[in-house]
Amino acid sequence: MNEQALLAKQANKPLAGLTVLELGHFIAAPHCSRLMADLGAQVIKVEAPGCGDPVRSWGMSTKGNTLWWSVHGRNKQCITLNLKDPQGIELAKQLIAQVDIVVENFRPGQLEKWGLGFSTMQQLNARVILVHISGYGQSGPYRDRVSFGAIGEAFGGLRHLTGYPKEVSDLPPVRTGVSLGDSLSGMFAVIGALSAVYERDVAGSGVGREVDVALYESVFSLLEGALPEYGEFGAVRHPTGAAIPTAAPSNTYRCADGMWLAIGANGDKIFKRLCIIINRPELGESELYDSNPKRVANAPMLDNLIENWTLTQDSREAEQLLLANDIPAGRIFNIEDCAKDEHYQARGMVMQVADPRFGEVTHPGVVPKFIGQEPGISWPGPAVGAHNHDIYREMLGLSAEQLEKHLEQGVI
């Protein structure tokens, strides 16, 4: 499929017409550009010749290919380019001259070492927006430290809040199970990139700018009131397990079938309805529980009373009973539950995507939704260098002889 046929699949999406050059690897920058590709941007992903992005070999595989890559690289055009070769740098400059946004997640200063710093980019293309994603940002005493998502979550204060209080468990703070810090920084990078596009094209500056996203800051920015509470009272938040420390009852309760059920009944009226459902209506009138602060103060006792009821209930039946009475509740889903759930399927969040390497791959759908429009998934993560011809011949205008020479010399 040539470049024009590929772009036609993206043409009716919100970001159609925006061109992004991804000089990224692993998760953060590729996640950023994938989100924009899902929404219609033309994303050109640069990978090292031969091996490609390390994520291509991560996770479970079939037929010699990993399934994650089908999602991680979807809706992108993949080219190979050796950024350690002077000829490769010249090709990169030709690409930069034609794109709207460059996204990168190398260590600070690496682009400058290659001769691709922002000042150089602006000489090539005054409208280009450069989005940096790094562990600690482009400035500050820690800028040169190496980092991954797990380290950013630790330094950003999130990891300290995971797990259970010390009096319950002496195990170390737990990981969330996915690379949350990387994905968060990728999302903030999208916000930064599109804000810069707005400034350039709508507000009318006409020029690009640098965007600096630090992984730890992306995590730190989600810590709610932890910082002002420390600043005012010297209070340090600690892990609270499955409960919300400022609202009760809001916890996870075991059911008769061994499943866990999350219940959030921290509003006064909702709490009274819950008390009737669990056959303890007097709790709703008790002075111990007649306001949220009192329920928080007595949360352990209250949680025990609620779990005494859930332990007698099938989780699905309890969930339906609570929801029927307008009480927020939900079973703890694993990925199988998600994949089979009718609501996920009705909203297009579990999609079957044709992939030439696998046949069909189950993909998560596109977020956010646009009412009246289905962004969809145009194509799965391509093979290494799948679009070399489209980009180098059709976009940059290289001849067949030039392309073959670059291949022979390891430039692409």
Domain assignments of the chain as residue spans, ordered by start: 3-221+345-408, 250-254+260-331
How many alpha carbons lie under 13 Å from residue 59 in its C-beta half-sphere?
Answer: 14
Half-sphere exposure of 410 (CA within 13 A, CB side): 6
**For residue 337, what pLDDT is reported?**
98
pLDDT digits 0-9 by tens, 289-341: 999 999 999 999 999 999 999 999 999 999 999 999 999 999 999 999 999 99
Q: Are 181 and 215 in contact (CB under 8 A)?
A: yes
Q: How far apart (Å, rounded) are the C-alpha atoms in residues 407 and 412?
A: 5
**88-93 mean pLDDT:** 99
DSSP for 119-173, written as a single string? HHHHHH-TT-EEEEEESS-SSSTTTT----HHHHHHHTTTGGGSS--TTT--SPP
Distance of CA 10 to the CA centre of its chain: 21
Which residues have a catalytic role annotated? 182
Mean predicted confidence (pLDDT) in 394-410: 97
Q: How far apart are CA 370 and CA 376, in angstroms?
A: 11
More confident residue, 181 or 64: 181
User: Average model confidence (pLDDT) for the chain?
Assistant: 96
Residue 404 has pLDDT above 60, yes or no: yes
Q: Give the mean pLDDT of 177-202.
A: 98
Closest CA to 3 of 41, 42, 52, 53: 42
User: For residue 63, what pLDDT is reported?
Assistant: 79
Its CATH class, for the domain covering 250-254+260-331, is alpha beta
Q: Could you tell me if 220 and 153 are in contact, meaning their C-beta atoms sit under 8 angstroms apart?
A: no
For range 230-238, the mean pLDDT: 98
Structure-token pair, residue 362: 């189950």
The region of weakest confidence among 67-81, 124-138, 161-175 is 161-175
pLDDT (0 to 100) of residue 64:
78
CA 277 – CA 318 distance, rounded (Å): 10
Instruction: Evaluate whether 327 touches 269 at the Cβ level (below 8 Å).
Output: no
pLDDT (0 to 100) of residue 150: 96
Amino acid at 166: K
Q: Of all residues in the chain, what percent carry a pLDDT higher than 70?
A: 99
pLDDT for the residue 8: 80
Report the share of the chain in percent with pLDDT over 90: 94
- In tens, the pLDDT along 18-32 reads 999 999 999 999 999
10 Å Cβ neighbour count for 393?
16
Vertex 290: Cα angle to 287 and 291 (nearest 5): 125
Residue 249: asked if its preceding bond is cis (omega within 30°), the reply is: yes
CATH code for the structural domain at 3-221+345-408? 3.40.50.10540
What average pLDDT score do residues 42-59 get?
Answer: 96
Tell me, what's the pLDDT at 65?
A: 84
Question: Does 3 score more than 80 pLDDT?
Answer: no
Query: According to the model, what pLDDT value does residue 1 have?
Result: 53
Question: Is residue 188 over pLDDT 70?
Answer: yes
pLDDT at 73 over 80: yes
pLDDT at position 2 over 60: no
Half-sphere exposure of 162 (CA within 13 A, CB side): 16
* pLDDT band (50, 70, 90) for residue 390: very high
pLDDT at 37: 98
For the chain, the 3-state helix, strand and coil shares in percent, each to the nearest 5, are 40, 15, 45
Mean pLDDT within 386-412:
97
